[in-house]
Structure 1
Amino acid sequence: MKTLVDTIISNKEPNARIHFIRGAEEEFALSYETLKQRALGLRAFLHGQGVTQGDEIILLSQRNEAFIEGFWAAILGGNPAIPLAFGISDEHKWKLFRIWQQLQSPWLLLDATQKERLEKFVALNGLNGLWQSVQKKSIVIEEIPPLIVADDFIAVEETDTAIIQFSSGTTSSPKGIVLSHKNILTNIRGIIKGMAMTEADSTFSWMPLTHDMGLIGFHLTPFVQGVDQYLMPTDLFIRRPWLWFQKISQVRSTVTCSPNFGYQHYLSALERNQSQDALALNHVRLIFNGAEPIAVPLVQQFLKKMQIYGLNDTAMFTVYGLAEASLAVAFPEPGKRFRYVTLDRERLQMNTQVQYTENGVSFAVEGKPIAGCFVRIVGPDQSNLSANHIGKIEIKGENVTKGYLKQEELNREVFHEDWLDTGDLGFLTTDGELVVTGRWKDIIFVNGQNYYPHDLEQILQSKGVTGTGRVAVTSVRGEGEERDKILVFILYKGRLPDFVPIINAVKGVVSEQLGIEVQEVLPINQLPKTTSGKIQRYQLSSRYQQGDFNQVIQELLELSAMDDEGQQGVSTIEKTLKGICDGLLANKRIDLDENIFEIGTTSLVLAQIHQQIEEIYPGKVEVTDFFDYPTIRQLASYINGKK
């Protein structure tokens, strides 16, 4: 099989199925053969609307069934598929238009609800001219008539583009990772071999299909192998995390996956007394752990908690990959216990030999390069480093992208002959296994997603929170912590009490625009820069970890403290909502009239708050209502008015 088209045409397991999980008791199954027929019909319809071979198709659907049919229609039509995550914030909508303007001849396949949201956004932002051109080449999924199957197949070459995976950049131009059919199939073959996948396996995933682990790892890989796959919507997992292993136990899937935040979210659900007594997980063979840096203490906590349900510690499969590699780079050996190394934190610099110790920083062992992919560790001068020396991780192979879309300067920067600079730091053990220790590039990992400091800085500048060139965003992760801590430094020389409103504004804007939490906003007299004017974020991170800002943090905490005691006239609904928020917003104090976004509420916590409100006041509040009623008092009044 040279292309994905060959894969679906020659599928040897026509009765294998995709099971779409819709709830605890609701499921829809589609055989691979039926999927092929539906995709062929949709491809014929799209071409009848004017889509021609080579035109790009942006997929904007929150429904897994519609997304997959649209994806395969694009593949069968010789059209590069562009998966696009579509959040509720304005920045996600801006991203669509920025991507559109990069493409040669794009089309948009979207849900009716997404179209309605876009139309409101366009009207508010004066984008009617651009929207008219987009609308002419948009196809609303709900408006597609009954499909008529056409059995003719379009010739596709293995070097043709199959997928363009765009980065999560928002304010700046998102970068498109161009993946050919050969890139993807090479990686899938390596994945199947590396995980020892057989016809006895079945997969289960709640990862979004717009993410490479969700699409390539847990849709295309089982499809190529011809085994059953189970797909649960991400928002269903967020609202009902216990369904993840409840369904796996019921259907006896052998392979599943999650980044760090998914394990934490599931464990938090169990702590809220959501019983899983009936679980039986002894059949689970592999749980892929990737998509963001792996937190060793969290893995240990998860395995300890789940062993009572029969989960073996050999199931934890700590892997390394990136979209530029199609997906996978390195896997551990299947069936081996979870392993990690503990290193001296003083010997984690570039070009330094690591020192193994009993007391230090722990990192997961992520295994050897999979078949078809090669890894090397190099120093700043591109010289090869020997085992146990930290350097830049570079990769090459037929699975690796040939470059970013229309980014010639970036391509020259990241490619060294055939080797791609991943932006990550790490080392190879004497046994040739990869350990990732940090990042060469300034990428921030939150809830399985990558965020770039300059994006956050531009958002704050565009919203008028800070002036141009007066803000630096970076991140740190301490020992035992499970996610990056986002730090915002602002050039400021005024009175400290006057800085408190700036803190609230920064946290509110980032939370509302991107749904992520800023942990610290700190004033600084000078931003460290290189001679060429680039901000040296690592210096700020280092100073923070050394405790240079501890005193100002304490002073700001005291200035920001709010006393909720003695409030009069608090209604029952207000008390209920405050109890929910106080329980989920750890280490924070929220006043009845305080904007929930200004205290750094993440999209994950927002979903948890909504879930608990839904249990008490069913059908009264949508997640989007938080944007219209962002304080407890306003939301309580809104709920009261709907009785």
Structure 2
Amino acid sequence: MPELVLPDLLLKAALEYPDLGINYMRDDGSLSKQSYWKLKKEAESLSSGFVEMGIKPGDTAIIITDNNQETINCLWGCFFAGIVPTILQSPVSTSDHSQAAVKLLNVFQQLGKPLVICSKPIGNDDEEFGKKMVLYSSLRRGKAIPGFRPLPDDLAFIQFSSGSTGDPKGIMLSHRNLAVNMNSIALGLHLTHDDHTGNWMPLYHDMGLIGYHLTPIYFTHEQYHIETVDFIKNPSLWLDLISEQSINVTGCPNFGQALVLRHLKRKVDFPAWNFSRMKAMLNGAEPISVRIMDEFVSQLQRFQFPVEAMMPVYGMAEATLAISFTPLMQPSVITQFDIEELDRNRKAIQVNPSSTGKTGRQISGVGVALDRVNIRLVDEHEQEVPEGISGHIQISGPSVTHGYYQNSSATEALFCGDWLRTGDIGFFFKGNLYISGRHKDIIFMNGKNYFAHDLESLACTLEDLSYGKVIFGGITDPKSSKEKVLAFVAGISEPKAPELLHRLRLLFRKNLGIQLDELILLRSNEIPKTSSGKIQRYKIIQRYLAGEFKEKRVK
């Protein structure tokens, strides 16, 4: 169905499967259901209201509503009216200088000060923003009128990047982009109309929106959503949902897995959970931690979780969502590679540390390219490299964006001919794609490249440190012009810092032969992260270079 546009998809789902729909889980575990037929009626009513407000097809709108049902209603009202929406996280106030507030005002300007739909008034001292703000409860509802019918290549949605390397960029997605990628996802997951999809990720994240809301409408089946804040407060809600509603397709990146593991360690009484129906638990959105994934699967096996259901995947918003999947119900492919060869010579050589004595880096494969997605690996001169050689990952295909909204310079830098530069480093090995890391997260030391997340994984082998509480970065010292490696750590008291630094130095000297120059103490809320839990390392480095944390530095 790649030629169908979004309004057609909901109309088809509502007419052919009127009893299927969207289930919203409350914080007490109860569910309310909105059938696809009811969603269609609500979208038609809101669409008519938008027309009465004078909003025209092609206009943009920002949705910052507080709960999933309001967000989904607004989204489809926009689609039916031909409005191009974007969904963002709602801040408490636009003047609180939070990450969400800064991003919202940035996007507001980028989109030309469009309509902003929110659940409650947002405190602000921006007069222009205030004039454009409309409460969801006060939106006009009109009688259903013939909706605007877009063309497949018309702009459907703008997904703003998380800003993990700078200002957010508006990724333009057409109806064709979305339909092609959703079709690829449906094929990769062998979706049927009997499947049940469960989601706790926010709808302003591409995996939450496209993977767990739009795709279940494209290949119509029942979908379930938990508010992200409720999942963070009580991960058992998600586990209850999986067991009670026979969820067989869901997702959980490192951030979520680590949260669930901490929750399970504190839990005393366990329900009789049954996860045996699971066929795909997608693990992506950030670099995959093999250690966390293995521990997570081990804990869930107590409740009949099939090991083969853990599904390492790779994707990005510029590809609409999905790029590669581990084949359905096949074991995750975990391989140990020679660190020296991979870091210095870019060669992927499998090792067995127990027999060779060489230090290995354990990396999870992320499967093979999905249908209608092309992947190639190139060197610094944009020339393809063979299997077993690390290079820059580039992608092409009809689900790949045509560029960033009103940002020609960034769009030009994004492409090499028809190929999109992902910014990721990886390699093929025995047919599987492996992701080494982000090009911008490389730390250069002693003539070798180290990925920040690899250093963080090594540090977390110490009992005091846990995933998400430690950040590594590299800088060039402005005085000595020497490269320095920095460790930022949260959750450690000042008296314990010198001893921790000593143990980290021993660990890194023994395993990698590198010097750790400084330890900087942080509060947990000082670690900036994207909506998927991905660490925004550049922000911490910027603050360090600006002279912050001077009283929290241990050398």
1:203-255 Cα distance to aligned partner (Å, 9 max, x none): 00000000000000000011111100000000000000111111110111111
Q: Are residue 279 (structure 1) and residue 273 (structure 2) matched?
A: yes
In the alignment, what sits opposite 1:134? 129
CA contact 2:197–2:212 (8 Å) conserved in 1: yes
CA contact 1:347–1:353 (8 Å) conserved in 2: yes
In the alignment, what sits opposite 2:348? 354
CA distance in 1, matches of 2:218, 2:524: 46
CA contact 2:248–2:279 (8 Å) conserved in 1: yes
CA distance in 1, matches of 2:250, 2:165: 33
Displacement of 1:191 in angstroms is 0.2
CA distance in 1, matches of 2:181, 2:75: 18
Q: Aligned to 1:247, what secondary structure does the other structure show?
A: helix
CA contact 1:350–1:390 (8 Å) conserved in 2: no
CA distance in 2, matches of 1:171, 1:394: 18
Displacement of 1:350 in angstroms is 8.0
CA distance in 2, matches of 1:109, 1:277: 40
CA contact 2:348–2:429 (8 Å) conserved in 1: no
Map 1:561-580 to 2 at 5 A: none
Q: Are residue 99 (structure 1) and residue 107 (structure 2) matched?
A: yes
CA contact 1:348–1:437 (8 Å) conserved in 2: no
Displacement of 1:23 in angstroms is 2.4
Aligned residue pairs, count: 480
Displacement of 1:476 in angstroms is 4.2
How large is the Cα RMSD of the aligned pairs? Answer: 3.0
In the alignment, what sits opposite 2:368? 368
Displacement of 1:598 in angstroms is 4.5
In the alignment, what sits opposite 1:531? none
Q: Are residue 549 (structure 1) and residue 516 (structure 2) matched?
A: yes
CA distance in 2, matches of 1:412, 1:599: 37
In the alignment, what sits opposite 2:407? 407
Q: Aligned to 1:347, what secondary structure does the other structure show?
A: helix
CA distance in 2, matches of 1:603, 1:416: 31
Map 1:13-32 to 2 at 5 A: 13-32=17-36
CA distance in 1, matches of 2:227, 2:472: 28
In the alignment, what sits opposite 2:44? 40
Displacement of 1:489 in angstroms is 5.5
Q: Are residue 8 (structure 1) and residue 10 (structure 2) matched?
A: yes
> 1:3 and 1:351, CA in 2 relative to 1: closer, same or farther beyond 3 A?
farther
1:88-111 Cα distance to aligned partner (Å, 9 max, x none): 562321221211111146211111
In the alignment, what sits opposite 2:97? 90
Letter in 2 for 1:101: Q
Displacement of 1:79 in angstroms is 1.1
Displacement of 1:438 in angstroms is 1.3
Q: Aligned to 2:156, what secondary structure does the other structure show?
A: strand
Displacement of 1:24 in angstroms is 3.5
CA contact 2:20–2:35 (8 Å) conserved in 1: yes
In the alignment, what sits opposite 1:477? 454
Map 1:387-536 to 2 at 5 A: 387-431=387-431, 433-442=432-441, 475-478=452-455, 479=457, 481=460, 482=467, 485-487=471-473
Letter in 2 for 1:333: P
In the alignment, what sits opposite 2:118? 110
- 240-249 or 481-490: bigger deviation: 481-490
> 1:599 and 1:74, CA in 2 relative to 1: closer, same or farther beyond 3 A?
closer
1:67-94 Cα distance to aligned partner (Å, 9 max, x none): 0001111111111111112345623212
Displacement of 1:493 in angstroms is 7.4
> 1:545 and 1:346, CA in 2 relative to 1: closer, same or farther beyond 3 A?
closer
Displacement of 1:346 in angstroms is 1.1
> 1:490 and 1:443, CA in 2 relative to 1: closer, same or farther beyond 3 A?
closer
CA distance in 1, matches of 2:263, 2:46: 40
> 1:488 and 1:439, CA in 2 relative to 1: closer, same or farther beyond 3 A?
closer
Post-superposition, which runs of at least 4 consecutive aligned residues in structure 1 deviate over 4 A? 479-484, 488-494, 597-604
> 1:171 and 1:302, CA in 2 relative to 1: closer, same or farther beyond 3 A?
closer
In the alignment, what sits opposite 1:77? 81
Letter in 2 for 1:391: G
CA contact 2:471–2:489 (8 Å) conserved in 1: no
Which structure carries more strand by proportion? 2
TM-score (ref. length: structure 1) = 0.70
CA distance in 2, matches of 1:148, 1:241: 39
Displacement of 1:388 in angstroms is 1.2
In the alignment, what sits opposite 2:67? 63
Gaps of 5+ in 1: 123-130, 445-473, 495-502, 512-519, 522-540, 558-596, 605-643
CA contact 2:113–2:132 (8 Å) conserved in 1: no
Map 1:186-225 to 2 at 5 A: 186-225=180-219
CA distance in 1, matches of 2:371, 2:524: 46
CA distance in 1, matches of 2:275, 2:303: 6
Q: Aligned to 1:249, what secondary structure does the other structure show?
A: helix
CA distance in 2, matches of 1:476, 1:280: 33
Letter in 2 for 1:90: H
Rg: which structure is higher?
Answer: 1
Q: Percent identity?
A: 29
1:121-160 Cα distance to aligned partner (Å, 9 max, x none): x2xxxxxxxx332333321112235x33314121201111
CA distance in 1, matches of 2:49, 2:394: 43
CA distance in 1, matches of 2:279, 2:65: 31
